[in-house]
Amino acid sequence: MAAVRVWSKSARVVLVTAGVGLAAGALVFLGALFLNVAPENAVSREYRAGIDAVVYPEFEQNWKLFAPDPLQRNVTVDARVQTIAEDGRITTGDWQSLTARDLAAVRHHPAPSHVDQNLLRRAWDFYDSTHGDGDAPSPAGSRGRLAEQYLKRIALQRIGPGGERVLQVQLRVGTATVAPPPWSTEQVDTAVHLRELPWWPVAAEDRRNL
């Protein structure tokens, strides 16, 4: 019968310590790789130098965990219309939150509509990508005009026909950066910044098939 090898207490301490060290090193390495491919966040910004030291150049990653990156801003879209009554009286309506309607339809819904989740957000992204910081009423290029028409028709559809003829429609967009987690030391501006677009005239063609 072969003798059973018995490890001394000091040998067991060394083996356990080495095992814990290897496990901790593996977790740190995998965590660095994860932060390298994940979208930029408070942790990756805080430890960017250490992450780069672990990953580059031997373990460089040329892909990202999410495509596109998760949204890091809250965007709300409001709209109002200017109408004319039969007696010629012109009235400017109150702002109506188009985003709030979508959120109300999505919250607590087991299978929310793709339209409620993305239509308005994607329409604004399309406009913003074709206009930047400029709000010229007649932007150059067909994509810019298409983006305006798309947003205009969404607003008119959401507000509804009402009892008077609509002369113009205006949109207002509020943008706020999502606050960092409580444990983060990052300082960001979380105030809502409003941006009013110019009044867009409404023709009969704009309301076709709404």
Q: Are residues 44 and 6 in the same domain?
A: yes
pLDDT in tens, 125-161: 888 888 866 555 456 577 888 889 999 999 999 887 6
pLDDT of residue 77: 95
Mean pLDDT score, 59-68: 72
Q: Are residues 35 and 79 in the same domain?
A: no
What pTM does this model have? Answer: 0.66
Q: Are residues 85 and 169 in the same domain?
A: yes
Name the percent of the chain lying above pLDDT 90. 25
Q: Are residues 30 and 123 in the same domain?
A: no
Mean pLDDT score, 195-203: 91
pLDDT in tens, 151-170: 999 999 988 767 788 899 99
Q: Are residues 194 and 128 in the same domain?
A: yes
Region of poorest pLDDT, from 86-100, 102-116, 131-145, 181-195: 131-145
Higher confidence at residue 68 or residue 115?
A: 115
Q: Which residues of 51-74 are buried (b: 16+ CB within 10 A; e: fewer)?
A: beebbeeeeeeeeeeeeeeeeeee
For residue 3, give its domain range: 1-69
Residue 195 has pLDDT above 60, yes or no: yes
Beta-sheet pairing, 96-97 with 193-196: unpaired
Mean pLDDT score, 10-25: 90
Peptide bond into 201 cis (omega under 30): no
Q: What is the mean pLDDT of the chain?
A: 84
Domain ends where: 38, 69, 100?
A: 69
What is the number of structural domains in the chain?
Answer: 2
The answer to whether the beta carbons of residues 79 and 169 sit under 8 Å apart is yes
The answer to whether the beta carbons of residues 133 and 127 sit under 8 Å apart is no
Domain ends where: 34, 69, 104?
A: 69
Higher confidence at residue 138 or residue 78?
A: 78
Domain ends where: 69, 93, 111?
A: 69
